[in-house]
Structure 1
Amino acid sequence: MKKLLIPLLTIVVQTGCKTANTSNETPTATFKHDKAFSAAYKMINAEDLKKNLYVIAADGMEGRDTGSPGQKRAGEYIVSYYKNLGISHPKVLNSFFQKVPADFMKKRGGGNLPDSENILAFIEGSEKPEEIVVVSAHYDHVGTKNGVVYNGADDDGSGTVAVMEIAKAFQTAKKAGKGPKRSVLFLHVTGEEHGLFGSEYYSQNPVFPLANTVVDLNIDMIGRDDPANRGKQYVYVIGSEMLSSQLKVINEAANKRTNNLELNYKYDDLNDPEQLYYRSDHYNFAKHNIPVAFFFDGIHEDYHKPTDDPEKIDYPLLEKRTQLIFTTAWDIANRAERIVVDKK
């Protein structure tokens, strides 16, 4: 997650509402194919999350700084994972990569960062393919400093592998003939640590029209606990009712259906001193009036330190949080009507 370097004074979220169908559909009404959902849900497991995270957060990835050789190695691993699952990239792209130019980042304070890439994997919807559910995480971190590797296992290796597991779950359902009604974009963005560059670039150069983007479920640090919640089964949820009256309800119903974590809304406040609503990639969707939910574990003692290592991750809790986000995405992707944008 991007560090807050200076106080944010006044940040205005655009408040124009998109036209959207309203629905009285209950949050659990989209689980008609329980066997398909259950089989997909069970594909998300701590063992696979751990296996992938030990690769993504290995010393050989050199802290995955934006545009670095280590980040590119991590990106190739992510792409090979999707290829092995039989998941492809959006048809309008020639590959899984969307280039984020150095000049774009430099104009936004990115210094001398080299070109980098967002990674886009895609499962097309069976009934409403033009409507897009985005599940996002940044796969960059802060690199190597004074010869010491900052592995970023939680920030945001945990979110990266969670997106990969969620994709595997959806692909399992698709192979069983129960793929999502809406399309799902699995978006791994770059440049988050330097200024949310990858998600900003995507929002300005969307592969799919932003008007067709239903939601962004953003995952940034979900593998640890913070001092205030040590040992608890919880997750912070930020922004889920900022733009839509339905998204928070859907997520809470998904939580009750699954692991019944404690959903902590401490940071779900535009005036919170930490300003977390503005500090991860979901914000570049929210400012375009796309409903968002940001899943987060809090600021712990290894945040942005070289000690953020994979052996410190709580893998059973990472599994539960990933299952919650998958269940929320499943509901949104499969419900009859698109969730509304009805808040300012």
Structure 2
Amino acid sequence: MKKILFLALTANFLACGTQPKNVENANPMEYANTITAEELKEHLYTFASDDFEGRETGEPGQKKAAEYLKNEYQKLNIPAPMGDDDYYQEVPSSVFRGDIKDSENVVAYFKGSEKSDELLVISSHYDHVGMDAEGNVFNGADDDGSGTVGILEIAEAFAKAKEDGYTPKRSILFLNVTGEEKGLVGSKFYTDNPIYPLENTVANLNIDMIGRIDPEHKGNDNYVYLIGSDKLSTDLHELSEEVNENYMNVDLDYTYNDENDPNRFYYRSDHYNFAKNNIPIIFYFNGVHEDYHKITDTPDKIEYDALAKRAKLVFLTAWEIANRDERLVVDKATAASE
């Protein structure tokens, strides 16, 4: 009799929805659609404003930018990986060149529901090049304000899914690195001093400049350059293609993925420090434009609909990586040195 009563109560609890939701029943596009041009624009007009003084590594504007990111993660109830309010991974000047001041990576973390020891890292750099001698601000709206606010919206999409009971199977680290413009120093510090073991890091999705249209795609906002997706993992490349085909149908341009490309972008952003450690990566990029590293890289020049499309694609790719049954297989040679 007691056994029958227990089974009846268990069935009742299940019927009432008290069991945690199966993430495989979620519609990821529902959460991707929470990434909007309007919210991206609101973030970027603040983040790439003159108040942040060009976000040069170690300078007051960069510190203000770090505080902005920390506050946004707190608003989303996404915890710090080190506990309490410790969203900063300190990057001391002593480990790099003498002209680089103390700085910090900003990190936030979702613990996975089933495979929490496996980690996906989604990264951008939030620093830029500061001001010139006359006090003109290099706002860095595209480089890499666009990727940084994209990560905030991606984080919000995951947070909303979690609120609805859909926690990703694998853990996710949102990593906003400092010092990219100083030679990828923030990402190198992270991979040299990882918060979570690199051997447990299944992939890195890196976003650096996704808010503009380059001259080669004039009049077409439905594209993004992908770099590195096939360098280390066939699984990752095929997953990326499938996600895009199923949800977004963005034109994936692999021009800069060519080993013989003279720009060598594969070696020039923060994903490379992960690739050097045999971690599969994708680098999302809109290409260079006339305002690259100029004071004219301002938020009014951003194509916000294009930025939203690209951020959605990154979110959906991250969703699939975080929730697939098997870990991505590394089946190709370690990334070649620069």
* Cα deviation code 1:219-249 (max 9, x no counterpart): 0000001111112110000000000001111
The answer to whether the 8 Å contact 2:100/2:182 transfers is no
Q: Distance in 2 between matches of 1:81 and 1:33?
A: 28
| Number of equivalenced pairs | 310
Pairs within 5 Å for 1:64-143: 64-91=55-82, 95-106=86-97, 111-143=98-130
The one-letter amino acid of 1:54's match is Y
Distance verdict in 2 for CA 1:234–1:38, change over 3 Å? closer
User: Which residue of 2 is the match for residue 287 of structure 1?
Assistant: 276
> Which structure shows the higher helix fraction?
2
Deviation at 1:143, TM superposition (A): 0.3
Q: Does 1:298 align with 2:298?
A: no
Deviation at 1:92, TM superposition (A): 5.8
Structure 1 residue matching 2:234: 3-state secondary structure: coil
Deviation at 1:34, TM superposition (A): 3.6
The answer to whether the 8 Å contact 2:29/2:316 transfers is no
Pairs within 5 Å for 1:155-234: 155-232=143-220, 233-234=222-223
Structure 1 residue matching 2:257: 3-state secondary structure: coil
User: Which residue of 2 is the match for residue 33 of structure 1?
Assistant: 25
Deviation at 1:42, TM superposition (A): 1.7
Normalising by the residue count of structure 2, what TM-score does the alignment of the two structures yield?
0.90
Pairwise CA RMSD of aligned residues?
A: 1.3
The answer to whether the 8 Å contact 1:269/1:277 transfers is no
Q: Distance in 1 between matches of 2:251 and 2:120?
A: 25
Structure 2 residue matching 1:293: 3-state secondary structure: strand
Q: Distance in 1 between matches of 2:268 and 2:184?
A: 8
Q: Distance in 2 between matches of 1:325 and 1:273?
A: 26
* Cα deviation code 1:19-47 (max 9, x no counterpart): xxxxxxxxxxx983244x23311211111
Q: Which 10-residue stretch deviates more, 232-241 or 89-98?
A: 89-98
Q: Distance in 1 between matches of 2:219 and 2:113?
A: 41
* Aligned pair partner of 1:48 in 39, 42, 57: 39
* Aligned pair partner of 1:254 in 232, 243, 247: 243
The answer to whether the 8 Å contact 1:92/1:207 transfers is no
Q: Distance in 2 between matches of 1:53 and 1:258?
A: 26
Distance verdict in 2 for CA 1:155–1:210, change over 3 Å? same
Q: Distance in 1 between matches of 2:239 and 2:59?
A: 38
Structure 2 residue matching 1:54: 3-state secondary structure: helix
Deviation at 1:316, TM superposition (A): 0.4
Q: Distance in 2 between matches of 1:31 and 1:316?
A: 28
* Aligned pair partner of 1:265 in 254, 268, 271: 254
Stretches of structure 2 lacking an aligned partner (at least 5 in a row): 1-21, 334-338
* Cα deviation code 1:311-341 (max 9, x no counterpart): 0000001000000000000000000000100
Structure 2 residue matching 1:135: 3-state secondary structure: strand
The answer to whether the 8 Å contact 2:23/2:168 transfers is no
Q: Distance in 1 between matches of 2:200 and 2:136?
A: 43
Q: Distance in 2 between matches of 1:149 and 1:324?
A: 31
The one-letter amino acid of 2:115's match is K
Q: Does 1:313 align with 2:305?
A: no
Q: Distance in 2 between matches of 1:269 and 1:212?
A: 28
Q: Distance in 2 between matches of 1:93 and 1:276?
A: 37
The answer to whether the 8 Å contact 2:109/2:173 transfers is yes
Q: Distance in 1 between matches of 2:30 and 2:248?
A: 16
Q: Distance in 1 between matches of 2:330 and 2:80?
A: 28
The answer to whether the 8 Å contact 1:31/1:331 transfers is no
Q: Distance in 2 between matches of 1:269 and 1:192?
A: 23
Stretches of structure 1 lacking an aligned partner (at least 5 in a row): 1-29
Q: Distance in 2 between matches of 1:261 and 1:325?
A: 11
Distance verdict in 2 for CA 1:34–1:93, change over 3 Å? closer
Q: What percent of counterpart residues are identical?
A: 55
Structure 1 residue matching 2:81: 3-state secondary structure: coil
User: Which residue of 2 is the match for residue 239 of structure 1?
Assistant: 228
